[in-house]
Amino acid sequence: MLAFIIRALGGLCHQLPAHSLSPYGQALPLCARCTGMHVAGASALLYLALARRKSQRCGLPDGPAALMLLAFMVLWALDGSNSLLHLLSGWAIYQPSNALRLFTGAGMGLTLGLSLYPTLRLVFKPIDTTCTQPVASRLVSLVGPCLAAAGGLLVIVLLPWVGVRDVLLFTAALTLLAAANGLLVTIALERWVSLRARWFWPLGVGVALAQMSVLAWLRSMMGA
């Protein structure tokens, strides 16, 4: 099972040991950037699902919070480009580090989590008159998701059991990818509203697993 998990995650990440966190001397199956993104994104989704379950704050982020999330996206893109430049040419605008990869990845994960939650809620509650406010508008409203993301990352780093860490990373990555694919499925099933919620996760997970497997196979064929 662990071999499948590592191989499947290879479809999403280059898995370079030098770019990965190595708690207890064992490199994680995702690089620091992907670890931050997937764990923070899944942790933010879990936090919002629990804390905002009966809240009116379930719309897309706006105001200063949305600007901060946009800044996280820009930092993720810039740091990723700088790291890629260093990998390909040996030159970079600034020295890449796993700390920066983890931070920018976590910022991108928060952006994904806070953007996916409102759209997921719309799928499962298409007529929700209680949803009248954004899930985050002021900067202080990002504190909860940020703490959840930090907690999730601490769990991954501090857990001494390699197998458990790998399963948690796989679950986090699969959750985000399945949610994104599930949204595409709901668009395709727009006329069948009653089926959208029922088949959202089964189809989302199925498509996500297929994507990960195909990408991992292509990577192995290219010898990467």
- The count of structural domains within the chain is 1
Q: Is 4 within the bounds of a domain? A: no
How many Å apart are CA 198 and CA 203, to the nearest integer?
9
Q: Is 212 within the bounds of a domain? A: yes
Q: Is 22 within the bounds of a domain? A: no
Q: Is 126 within the bounds of a domain? A: yes
Q: Is 140 within the bounds of a domain? A: yes
Residue 81, domain extent: 30-221
Q: What is the pLDDT of residues 38-49, one digit of tens each?
A: 999 999 999 998
Q: Is 14 within the bounds of a domain? A: no
How many Å apart are CA 74 and CA 80, to the nearest integer?
10
Q: What is the pLDDT of residues 142-166, one digit of tens each?
A: 999 999 999 999 999 999 999 999 9
**Rounded to two decimals, what is the model's pTM?**
0.91
> Which one-letter amino acid corresponds to residue 162?
V
- The predicted pLDDT at position 203 comes to 85
Q: What is the pLDDT of residues 96-126, one digit of tens each?
A: 999 999 999 999 999 999 999 988 887 777 6
Pair 105, 35: CB distance under 8 Å: yes
Burial of 56 (0-12, 13-18, 19+ CB in 10 A): middle
